[in-house]
Amino acid sequence: MKLGIINGWEEAHFKSVKDKGLEAVEFCINHNYDSAEVLARADEIKGYSEKYGVAVGSIGRWGMDRVDDNGEIIPEAMQHDKNLVDLASKLGCPVYNVGCNEVEDKSFEENCKYAIAYLSQLVEYAKERNVKIGIYNCDWANFIWDAKAWGAILTAIPELGIKYDPSHCINRFGDYLKEMADWGHRFHHFHIKGTLHVGGDHYDDPPAGLDQTNWGAVMAILHIHNYKGMLSIEPHSSNWFGGKGQWGIDFTINYIRQFLIDEKYENMNIDPYMP
């Protein structure tokens, strides 16, 4: 696994990630960015990645409708996604994360059909460029965030995977460990984001390790599934900024590192159990 963080694509962002001792950066090139403008800077961004030795571990686009009110593919949306798949390919980034919006007044089965049509086309485009597609599990312009939707859509598209963030399931009062145990074999990307409930209500998203997520169990399940992708730290709370926010990031880095398997164990073929 590569430990990294969400950040931008300017040189200062790469330097910041490097200064934290992290291996990778994730770009969230959301609906408010022109994907063509970022793609045009691919060579420049690749230069920053090489200069600082920081890999681009993931790219994603949140908050964009991909099908219209009739369930038809929105051409502009598909072009944005293809632009960012091209960017990922040029940067050696292994995964691109997307969602698919639900069409109101249509059945679950109809919405699955629309999503499968869109995502099948995108997966084929990405496969030709050595990029995997992951579905993010939050509900921002996306309905494919639980086992019911994954069962319908990931079954229809075997190459499609999941970008998983336990906090989204926790904040829906779901069983995140059950989701991970059942679906961890399809994870393409993983977010490290803390979340905290007080009195039955969501209270804050503090740094991971200062929250209520069972990170030991989370990491155990990832290891059981032999997950090898990026672990991407997502700072997400306005209560943690300035020096306190930077301390929180450093705390999370040190906290999560204790769960990573050192390379010296990778090729050992010794049974740890007594006969």
**Cα distance between residue 36 and residue 270, in whole Å:** 51
Q: What is the pLDDT of residue 38?
A: 98
Identify the structural domains of the chain with CATH numbers, from first to last. Answer: 2-263 (3.20.20.150)
Q: How many CB atoms lie within 10 A of CB 40?
A: 12
Match 């992290």 to its residue by tokens. 22
Query: Mind giving me the DSSP string for 2-36?
Result: EEEEE--SSHHHHHHHHHTT-SEEEEE--TTS-HH
H helix or E strand, kind and range, residue 153: helix 147-156
pTM, two decimal places? 0.96
Q: What is the pLDDT of residue 270?
A: 81
Alpha carbon 191 to chain centroid distance? 5
- Per run of 10 residues, the mean pLDDT along the chain (length 275 residues) is 98 98 98 98 98 98 98 98 98 98 98 98 98 98 98 98 98 98 98 98 98 98 98 96 97 98 87 70
Q: What is the pLDDT of residue 259?
A: 98
Cβ contact 59:97 at 8 Å: yes
Q: What is the pLDDT of residue 266?
A: 82
> Is residue 190 classed as helix, strand or coil in its secondary structure?
strand
**Cα distance between residue 245 and residue 194, in whole Å:** 13
Residues in the chain: 275
**Cα distance between residue 44 and residue 38, in whole Å:** 10
Q: What is the pLDDT of residue 28?
A: 98
- Among candidate residues 191, 199, 123, 178, the one with its CA nearest the CA of residue 154: 123
Judged on CB neighbours under 10 Å (0-12, 13-18, 19+), 146 is middle
Match 């301390």 to its residue by tokens. 247
Q: What is the pLDDT of residue 274?
A: 65
The token pair that represents 232 in the structure block: 């991407």
Q: What is the pLDDT of residue 267?
A: 83
